[in-house]
Structure 1
Amino acid sequence: MIHVHSAALKIAIKAKGLDKILFITDSISATGLPDGEYMLGGLKIVVKNGVSRVKATGSLAGSTLTMDVAIRNAITNLGLSLKDAVRMATLNPANALDLPDHGRLAPNCVANITVINPKIDILATIVKGELFYEAK
């Protein structure tokens, strides 16, 4: 965990409750790309081992976090269950944005589904009921 220490997140969860914490990725355009140099808003950045830094200063240059990694981090570093971590990545954001037809599997809801295995590897993604991605 890079931007927020796990102890701070544990305090936030205890103070607010699991239903008031949501996961975001706000990741930059270099997310998912190999380690290397990229441009971000006119700045040269270096991505190494999933961490992006401004080349000239070494300062953090945004996030390369993906949601599967956020969920995995929450389970590993915060001791959350898979159910709670997934809820914080799906239902909680939908509720915060007042999107009652998102973030849940229920009749008349938008069928956006990510299929994962026990290691939280993404196996398939379904967007609005259509297969969008399938792992090889």
Structure 2
Amino acid sequence: MARILALDYGKVRTGIAVTDELQLIASGLTTVETKNLIIFLKDYVKNETVESFVIGLPKQMDNTPSESEKLIQPLVKKLSIEFPTIKMERQDERFTSKMAFQSMLDSGMKKKKRQNKALVDEISATLILQAYLNRI
């Protein structure tokens, strides 16, 4: 089987998570500068078989798209052009940043490490991916 890769897209950084080859476990992979995202993904898919990208879908509490969805749409279009054989999936990402921060607290992580926004983005991507896995 192939891996599923999840993206928690942001203006500055994008958190990335990935499944194992059996698509059972979601794990944080890394956080990359968003300007380098496509280059990173091209390198990654050269070495790993990726079945689909799961991209966070930011929504308001009333289920309407949030403002950041306008930033994500060009990424979705670019990914479909750059990686035409890889499926694109979307997953509601409401509360993932809060849940990521809470999981850092619950694990006893020190304050200095909890302030690492890149780590929060990576954990958020993992939560997005796990929610997707639970849904399919």
TM-score bracket relative to the smaller structure: under 0.3
Based on CA coordinates, which of the two structures has the bigger radius of gyration? 1
Structure with larger RCO (C-alpha < 8 A, sep 6+): 2
